[in-house]
Amino acid sequence: MTHPLAQRFDGATEILAEIDARIPDTRDHLAETRATVDAYHPKRLQLVVTEIIDETPTTKTLRMQGLDQAALPPFSAGQYVNVFVDGTSRPYAISSSPTQRGHYDLTVRRVPGGRISNLLIDTVVIGQILTTSGPMGTFHHNPLFHGNDVVFLAGGSGVAPAMSMLREIADLGLDRSLHLIYGSRHASDVIFRAELDALAAAHPGITVDHVIAEPDADWTGATGYLTADTIAALAGELNERMVYVCGPQALYPYALDQLTALGQPRKRIRFEANGAPSDPTAQPHWPIGVDPTEEVTVTVSGASFRTPRNRPLLDAMEDNGIRPEAACRSGECSLCRVRVVKGEVHTAEEAKMRLSDARFGYTHSCVAYPISDVELDL
Ligand code: FES
């Protein structure tokens, strides 16, 4: 009998034959292999909230454990879990140390008007069970490619993955230098301030600089924004050190400009994926003269609904009760791929598309926008 995959991909028959030839052992022990993969990369976790920590007036950390209190799947500092709530999901970076397998900490900052951040901050209570994905994401330290001397530019709750990295350095006594340059509007907005300063004081490889945009009269640290001058004054010559950037979306083009002005090569800058573009029409290939607010018809697996052009297809589908798998919501993980059967779609620059996606008509629905009436296949 022909394998079902053989009809969906060019070359699938040859690949399946190769798998048969090379790894009969895995196929003979499929259940065991599946159990091992699931233990390390579970699709879903049920986690109970055991503690809620007030970090700042606008930020809380939700500490979550497994229902059976067993060790949670391992993760690399910088990775996230996707939290499923209210018919949708949002990725949150784990701020706790990977050495602490008994819990994950998710640090949530209230986004003005943000449906999920406000819901998590205002309604989650101790004892509540939340469904998440397993840990995932590529924004983590890789000593082989990133070296052991890195700079981290953070803004707001973008400090969460940095916190996990710093805690790991301290817990394991790693021979690694991490210089955190952390921008906040007010001193009272600085998340983890006491712990960050204590880590910097106790560990020679850890440096922390706070940069405050609107300082009070008694603030003695750096002020303003994360400009090229400020980065250079605090971090010195970058000398092609790897620079991580995590924060609100507006930080990314700004940080890229500042780092480029300092001569930092693009390949030595790593951005954490952070949501769909707030204004897809600002991207150069948004079609000229197309009204982003006008509604079009989207048809998915026989169901049709109307949605404005500037609503990402993933959000529009969720609005209408259709829930494709999704995680990063930033175009990176490819879980939300859909095939565009008919019509025109604007896929944002954020989408990390594979050549095969383009060839077979797929797009990443979290960062794709319907330009005309479209028909999609899940
Ligand atoms: S959810 Fe990850 S690419 Fe869309």
How does pLDDT run across 205-256, given as a tens digit for each residue?
999 999 999 999 999 999 999 999 999 999 999 998 999 999 998 899 999 9
> Residue 349 domain-assigned?
yes
* pLDDT (0 to 100) of residue 278: 77
Q: Which atom of ligand 1 is nearest to the CA of 365?
A: 4
User: Around Cβ 239, how many Cβ atoms within 10 Å?
Assistant: 10
Ligand 1 centroid to Cα of residue 273, in Å, is: 10
Ligand 1 centroid to Cα of residue 363, in Å, is: 10
Ligand 1 is surrounded, with C-beta below 6 A, by: 326-329, 331-336, 364, 366
> Residue 263 domain-assigned?
yes
Domain end point (choices 81, 97, 132) = 132
Domain end point (choices 132, 165, 180) = 132
Q: Ligand 1 pocket check: which of 364, 369, 376, 378 to mutate, most ligand atoms within 8 Å of Cβ? A: 364
Which of 299-307's residues contact partners 24+ apart within 8 Å by CB, and which partners?
Answer: 299/373, 299/374, 299/375, 299/376, 300/338, 300/375, 300/376, 300/377, 300/378, 301/376, 301/377, 301/378, 307/370
> Residue 27 domain-assigned?
no
Range of the domain at 186: 143-271
> Residue 182 domain-assigned?
yes
Q: Are residues 289 and 254 in the same domain?
A: no
CA 198, 102, 139, 160: dihedral to nearest 10 degrees?
-40
Q: Are residues 56 and 149 in the same domain?
A: no
> Residue 289 domain-assigned?
yes
Say which residue, 94 or 29, is predicted with more confidence: 94
Mean pLDDT (the chain) is 92
Q: What CATH number should be reported for the domain holding residue 119?
A: 2.40.30.10
Ligand 1 centroid to Cα of residue 233, in Å, is: 37
Q: Which atom of ligand 1 is nearest to the CA of 332?
A: 3
d(CA 47, CA 154): 27
Q: Ligand 1 pocket check: which of 329, 357, 369 to mutate, most ligand atoms within 8 Å of Cβ? A: 329
Q: Are residues 308 and 212 in the same domain?
A: no
Q: Which atom of ligand 1 is nearest to the CA of 333?
A: 2
**Cβ-contact 296, 165 below 8 angstroms:** no
Q: Are residues 245 and 322 in the same domain?
A: no
d(CA 68, CA 114): 32
Q: Ligand 1 pocket check: which of 336, 353, 357, 378 to mutate, most ligand atoms within 8 Å of Cβ? A: 336
Q: Which atom of ligand 1 is nearest to the CA of 325?
A: 1
Q: Are residues 220 and 200 in the same domain?
A: yes
Q: Ligand 1 pocket check: which of 317, 366, 376 to mutate, most ligand atoms within 8 Å of Cβ? A: 366
**Cβ-contact 65, 105 below 8 angstroms:** no
Question: How sure is the predictor about 3, in pLDDT bands with cuts at 50, 70 and 90?
Answer: low
Strand order in the sheet with 303-308: 303-308, 295-300, 374-377, 337-342, 362-364
Ligand 1 centroid to Cα of residue 329, in Å, is: 4
Q: Are residues 147 and 266 in the same domain?
A: yes
Ligand 1 centroid to Cα of residue 71, in Å, is: 27
> Residue 7 domain-assigned?
no
Q: Are residues 181 and 209 in the same domain?
A: yes
Q: Are residues 151 and 215 in the same domain?
A: yes
Q: Are residues 229 and 251 in the same domain?
A: yes
Please count the structural domains in the chain. 3
Domain end point (choices 271, 299, 331) = 271
pTM confidence score: 0.88
The rounded percent of the chain whose pLDDT value lies above 90 is 77
* pLDDT (0 to 100) of residue 7: 67
Q: Comparing 10-19, 21-30, 43-52, 288-297, which segment has the lowest mean pLDDT? A: 21-30
- Residue 137 token pair: 């994401």
Q: Are residues 292 and 195 in the same domain?
A: no
> Residue 33 domain-assigned?
no
Q: Are residues 294 and 225 in the same domain?
A: no
Q: Are residues 100 and 82 in the same domain?
A: yes
* pLDDT (0 to 100) of residue 236: 96
pLDDT digits (tens, 9 = 90+) for 101-128: 999 999 999 999 999 999 999 999 999 9
* pLDDT (0 to 100) of residue 274: 74
Instruction: Identify any residues that bridge with 46 across adjacent strands, giving them in sequence order.
Output: 131
CA-nearest of 220, 111, 219 to 158 is 111
> Residue 20 domain-assigned?
no
